[in-house]
Amino acid sequence: MLLAACGQESHKGNPTDSTGLADTSALAKADSVAGKLVQHAANDTVPKDTAAASANEKQFDSFFEKFQQAVRRNDEAALKSMLQFPFQTAPQWTSEDYQDKAVDKVGARVDSSEFHQYYNAIFSDDVKRLLPRMKSEEVTELENVASNDYYATMQRLTDKGSPMYEAYSQFAQQRDPQKELFFGFVFGKVNGTYKAVSFYSRWPAKTADDK
């Protein structure tokens, strides 16, 4: 309604002073008031959930940029601080390749004390080569994950109501370009801070048989 009122006022004649000339001071004041009304109306029309979504997106973008930089530097200590432990490394068990197979979800979890042992299995040469070059549009926000047990399991690790994001890359194997490989990281907010909550690829980074 405030916007409509401002639009109607714009059709009125310019205010004048006693000389009959346009009063530029009055015009300036009118423009200032109209501008404030428009800004106020615009602010009032932004839903709170939209503002929260924007804040979450900015927070994640900042985190992901630091995550990429740490991967580029091969900074094991920094990356360890950006993971939520125990860190899930099982294959994505709801994918076509695994939905009919038994996946050891517990055995594939990496504890903080084991991170160094499995660091290169998670942050492989392919991850180090490709993830730092990923653009923001290649990272997607995950929505309506309740029907997907893999993502729903990850969501239970995160703050209630907060969005999750996924960085996914599919690429040709360097040694055999006819074969395609892939990897993905899922990110979520844990206690107010974004973390990587899982990693998946064609094979688990850790198995129960590892010693």
**Radius of gyration for the chain, computed over Cα atoms and rounded to the nearest angstrom:** 26
Per-residue pLDDT at 86 exceeds 70: yes
pLDDT of residue 105: 92
* Percent of residues, the chain, with pLDDT higher than 90: 58
Report cis status (omega within 30 of 0) of the bond before 86: yes
Q: Is domain 52-201 classified as CATH 3.40.50?
A: no
Question: What is Dmax (Cα atoms) for the chain?
Answer: 95
The answer to whether the predicted template modeling score (pTM) of the entire model surpasses 0.85 is no
Per-residue pLDDT at 19 exceeds 70: no
- Give the integer Cα–Cα distance in Å for 104 and 161: 28
In the chain, domain spans: 2-44, 52-201
Q: Provide the residue count of the chain.
A: 211
Residue 158 vs residues 140, 154, 193, 205: alpha-carbon distances, Å: 17, 7, 10, 22
pLDDT of residue 48: 55
Q: pLDDT tens across 109-151, in order?
A: 999 999 999 999 999 999 999 999 998 888 999 999 999 999 9
Question: Average pLDDT over the chain, rounded to whole?
Answer: 81
pLDDT of residue 106: 93
- Give the integer Cα–Cα distance in Å for 109 and 27: 68
Higher pLDDT, 204 or 2: 204
pLDDT of residue 175: 74
Question: Which segment, 7-11, 20-24, 145-149, is predicted with the most confidence on average?
Answer: 145-149
